[in-house]
Chains A and B, each alone.
Chain A
Amino acid sequence: DGGITQSPKYLFRKEGQNVTLSCEQNLNHDAMYWYRQDPGQGLRLIYYSQIVNDFQKGDIAEGYSVSREKKESFPLTVTSAQKNPTAFYLCASSMRWQGGYTFGSGTRLTVV
């Protein structure tokens, strides 16, 4: 079955450490996205990529970095520059120009 996989489901890190969240899809989707969700709030766009080797900043890109070396993979690194990294991170994919998003099950990151 096609889908989008995020790992790990829960992640704990010490303040000041970089951490990388994994996102893999086998839907043959061109576009991939990273959103951040804080308790009781909507989804805010961090980064998105429409094709391999190309990506753009979203509304809250500061303190984050991404890469898109393969169509199937879009990892997100939360750097020590991100002031408040504790949140629920959602990865999604879609066809490049149309269609609904398929979301992964999310990674809940807690920084202590």
Chain B
Amino acid sequence: QQPVQSPQAVILREGEDAVINCSSSKALYSVHWYRQKHGEAPVFLMILLKGGEQKGHEKISASFNEKKQQSSLYLTASQLSYSGTYFCGTEEAKAAGNKLTFGGGTRVLVKP
């Protein structure tokens, strides 16, 4: 069962902040975040392991709440280059060997 992402879409003005959520009904070992520009391949942003750590990539950061099986991606002071579709990918068990199940994606549009 794929993780659920919310919201499905968000429109921002340059400099504004946004939060994208990813929820799973299953216990997770890790959560990955990727960004895909239109017609291109997804690009890896960051990975979070269970333990609630927070990571960052430029002004994009994320957290992982393993008790709730939820991860959130924070877009801070958004730039035009942040536009694209963001996907979370969840790894349910270490034994599965880094196999990811992806959410449906969140479309982000940053306007000048």
Contact = CB atoms under 8 A, between A and B. Distances in A.
A41 B44 CA distance: 18
B110 interface: no
A41 B41 contact: no
8 contacts: A42-B105, A43-B102, A44-B102, A45-B99, A58-B99, A90-B42, A98-B47, A102-B44
Given A41-B104, A42-B102, A43-B102, A103 B43 contact: yes
B47 A100 contact: yes
A101 B44 contact: yes
Interface string B63-86: 000000000000000000000000
B58 interface: no
Given A100-B44, A101-B100, A106-B41, 15 more contacts: A31-B97, A41-B105, A42-B2, A42-B102, A42-B104, A90-B41, A97-B94, A98-B47, A101-B32, A101-B44, A102-B44, A103-B42, A105-B40, A105-B41, A106-B40
Interface string B20-44: 0000000000001010000011111
Interface of A: 31, 33, 35, 41-45, 48, 50, 58-59, 90, 94-106
Given A31-B97, A43-B42, A90-B41, A100 B104 contact: no
Interface residues of B, number: 22
Nearest to B107: A40
A94 B98 contact: yes
Contacts of B87: 42-43
A102 B44 CA distance: 7
B54 interface: no
B47 to A, nearest CB: 6
Contacts of A100: 32, 34, 44, 46-47
